A and B are shown apart, each in its own frame.
Chain A
Amino acid sequence: MTTSRAAASVAAAALAVAGLAACSDDEPDDGRTHLTVTIDAGLEQAAIDAFDKRVEQFEDANPDIDVETQEYTWTAGTFTAQLAGGTLPDVFVVPFTDGRGLIERGQIADIGDLTADLPYRDDYNPNVAAAGEDAEGDLWAIPISAYGQGLHYNRSLFEAAGLDPDAPPATWEEVRAAADAIAEETGEAGYAVMTNDNTGGWILTTVVNALGGRTDDGDGNATIDTPAMRQALGDLRAMRWEDESMGDNFLYDWGTINQDFASGRIGMYVSGGGNYGNLFTQNALDPDDYGLTILPLADDPNAGVLGGGTLAAVSPNAEPDEQAAAVKWIDFYYMEKLTVQEAAVADAEVKAESGQPVGAPELPVFDKAAYDEAQTWIAEYVNVPVDQMSHYTDHVFDQPLLNEPAVATQEVYGILDTVVQTVLTEEDADIDALLDTAQAEAQAAIDAAV
């Protein structure tokens, strides 16, 4: 009896120790720096293969660094959880709107000394660089891409509705008329908007900007209750309830609206001009269906197109050697293709070989001349339907580019989500009352953030 009890005790203790050992960090001590980098979630196999090939190239060039990949897609909710839980990869991407806040709170690694040595550090467009700089001008997060909002449209639905896909809408009145025609002739949503996960506020702000309005005055005052906002919401209400041209889903977020657009259920929607990559690689878009044009701007000196972009940042938990490796990776994977011809060609070659899109439009993070030059390097590999995007690429540089609101951006977007959802789901929604409430809530959010 005593023996069996002792054996049981030993067995239990062994199990406990084994269990604890399983919890331990199993990073191999092979003298190499182990770096976890970001790969988009939900990629087609070809895109994963292309990414893996770039990793191989990087490891060949840096034998002292071992790269591992972690699926990651930025969304407001999941990012916060990963940030708080310490489960972010060593290198991750965030939107421009989050850069300053993360830096002020010390929630990303200070890589200012490392980025100062990058050869293109001083070539950044100052407005773009500011998104990743601290108050002293040190670059904590590296801007890797920029975009201007655009109007994406489905050419096949345009044709089915008797519209000319080579002459997309140039005014908001034409957008409404085209949406009405598409809904009438095809039964699909002529025009759809995102409304969930702060994207409703993002797109409403975009349209308000295009009409000449703003959601704050830059001095800590919310400007939600404005004529431009009323017009934007009034147009939405008219399309939803009078024309019934907005389909039947009013709870879209960025992922689901891309999904429905790619599957031909949406005629038009507003989103970042560089969306083609996601639509093609994650949602199986038929390139022949795709069309992209600029946002219609009101005849107002304040009207502009909302822009934004992506920053690459490094986890605050990364050790100094990991931070150095992270900057090398960011430079290799995200930046060299914008600055070094050989790298641009190598990147385009890998993508083209695996059938991934090359040449989807972006806005320059440096200047237009550098962007144009980089485009010439990869011209022979471009495989996206550039002609179907020419209404965007030919004119977007002529549009005034506006930055996203700098303070309490996501909170205000979230507040506006509710406004948009209410207008789209309640026919008798009181826009005055909604804006009155949203104005007070947005002001409170801004006051709390400054």
Chain B
Amino acid sequence: MTSVDTRPAGVAGDRARPRTAARPGRPGGLLSRARGGLPTLVFLAPMLVVFGVFSWLPIGRAVVMSFQRTNLVADPVFVGVANFQQVFADPLLWTAVQNTAYFAALALVFGYPIPLVAAVLMSEVRKMRGLFSALAYLPVVVPPVVAVLLWKLFYDAGEDGVFNTILGWVGLGPFAWLQESDIVMPALVLEATWAAAGGTVIIYLAALTGVDPSLYEAAEIDGGGVWRKVWHITLPQLRGILLVTFILQIIGTVQVFLEPFLFTDGGPANRTLTLLLLIYRYAFTNSLGGDYGAAAALSLMLAVVLTAFSVLYFRLTRSWSNA
């Protein structure tokens, strides 16, 4: 399959032209009218500066730092790959990898289908769709720290905790939601799903509006029920969005930090220690100056793995998304 270049012909043509031709004032030059001229550059410059200073520079700095020993106050010392060796030798790395994979898997099983189901159901609703959309999106509006503090009350392990009270009505519990090693991670996933699902629901709802209604009408004429319409029309029509949200879900959940940090600080006994929390610990647990080199090294390793995974994923699914 060949990819389709959708850019204007002039832009594509510039790419093929020898670099020496790209002079200011000439067609194809940086300040050419075809590229918007000086105003474009002036408007673009602040964004480039901000993006460069606050995104690319720190990323570049982190890459350099992963080969240094530094406390960010005294002069750094280059230590080769020692930081990477140190990270690999840390037994907590594998604990963090397992915990992160567990969180990502749970979030995938529960967090990925729920927004889709919710969006499909809401799209079927004729009345008060706006209200349902607002209710679904409301958790996204709540500041994450506030949400976690709220859920801490829900998860109170005492008999008078919100969830324990509710479960007590049917003779269950009480459960030590955040204290028991077996249920603490599902508890975190539950809150994370609640907090994030609304955004994905809105994306799916927007995508559903792009599905040609005549397809559903045709299906109804052919006697197709709701399930067949969803399976044969909705899901194929949303395929492109589903593939993107899938990879975003994986990338997002592998980088989970807020919930384990605020709910449990990685406890109990490192059962919710995730990769990002381990990076944080490398950098900040020692009040005398963190091990920023190890933190940068693990960050870099995570970025490389996620990048490789993303590239592989899009290569494998390219035929699905374009079919």
Contacts and interface: CB of A to CB of B under 8 A. Distances in A.
Interface of A: 5, 8-9, 12-13, 15-16, 19, 74-81, 83-85, 94, 98, 101-102, 105-107, 195-198, 247-251, 253, 316, 410-411, 414, 417-418, 421-422, 424-426
A417 B281 CA distance: 13
Interface string B253-285: 000000000001101111000000000110111
B43 A251 contact: no
B287 A98 contact: yes
B285 A251 contact: no
A5 B73 contact: no
Interface string B24-51: 0000000000000111001101100100
22 contacts: A8-B42, A15-B46, A78-B284, A80-B287, A80-B290, A81-B284, A83-B72, A105-B73, A105-B289, A106-B73, A107-B73, A107-B288, A107-B289, A197-B265, A198-B285, A249-B179, A410-B285, A418-B269, A418-B270, A424-B179, A425-B269, A426-B268
Nearest to B281: A414
Given A8-B39, A9-B38, A102-B288, A84 B71 contact: yes
Contacts of B37: 5
B292 interface: yes
Question: Which of B49, B179, B270, B292 has the largest count of A CB atoms less than 10 A from its CB?
Answer: B179
A252 B16 CA distance: 63
Given A105-B74, A248-B158, A410 B178 contact: no
Given A5-B39, A84-B71, A105 B288 contact: yes
A197 B73 CA distance: 23
Contact of B290 (A84, A253, A421): A84
A427 B12 CA distance: 67
B287 A410 contact: yes
A418 B5 CA distance: 55
B287 A251 contact: no
Given A76-B286, A251-B268, A410-B287, 4 more contacts: A9-B39, A16-B49, A77-B280, A410-B285
Nearest to A429: B269
A77 B286 CA distance: 7
Contact of B283 (A12, A80, A424): A80
Contacts of B73: 83-84, 105-107, 316
Given A249-B157, A421-B269, A410 B46 contact: no
Nearest to B73: A107
B43 A8 contact: yes
A253 to B, nearest CB: 8
A200 B283 CA distance: 20
A76 B74 contact: no
Contacts of B156: 248
Given A84-B71, A107-B71, A250 B268 contact: yes
B176 A248 contact: yes
A391 B182 CA distance: 42
A425 B43 CA distance: 57
Contacts of B181: 425-426
B151 to A, nearest CB: 14
Interface residues of B, number: 38
A213 B178 CA distance: 32
B291 to A, nearest CB: 9
Interface of B: 37-39, 42-43, 45-46, 49, 71-74, 156-158, 174, 176, 178-181, 264-265, 267-270, 280-281, 283-290, 292
A426 B264 CA distance: 15
Given A15-B46, A196-B265, A425-B179, A84 B289 contact: yes
A247 B159 CA distance: 11
A436 to B, nearest CB: 13
Given A5-B38, A15-B46, A426-B181, A106 B265 contact: no
A80 B282 CA distance: 11
Contacts of B269: 418, 421-422, 425-426
A251 B178 contact: yes
Q: Sorted from nearest, which 9 A-B pairs have the closest CB atoms?
A: A248-B157, A425-B268, A422-B269, A101-B288, A84-B72, A76-B287, A77-B284, A12-B42, A80-B284
Contacts of A106: 73-74
Contacts of A426: 181, 268-269
B284 A76 contact: yes
A12 B290 contact: no
A248 B280 CA distance: 27
A248, A316, A422 — most chain B CB neighbours (10 Å): A248
B42 A13 contact: yes
A443 B42 CA distance: 58
Nearest to A434: B269
Kindly name the residue among B265, B284, B287 whose own CB sees the greatest number of chain A CB atoms within 10 A.
B287
A16 B45 contact: yes
B93 to A, nearest CB: 13
Contacts of A84: 71-73, 289-290, 292
A15 B269 CA distance: 51
Contacts of B289: 80, 83-84, 101, 105, 107
Contacts of A98: 287-288
Contacts of B268: 195, 250-251, 421-422, 424-426
A103 to B, nearest CB: 10
A195 B265 CA distance: 10
A79 B287 contact: yes
Nearest to B177: A248
Contacts of B157: 248-249
A195 B280 CA distance: 18
Contacts of B46: 12, 15-16, 19
A9 B180 CA distance: 61
Contacts of A74: 287
A208 B39 CA distance: 70
A8 B44 CA distance: 12
Nearest to A253: B265
B286 A411 contact: yes
Nearest to B50: A19
A81 B73 CA distance: 12
Contacts of A83: 72-73, 289
Contacts of B179: 248-251, 424-425
A450 to B, nearest CB: 13
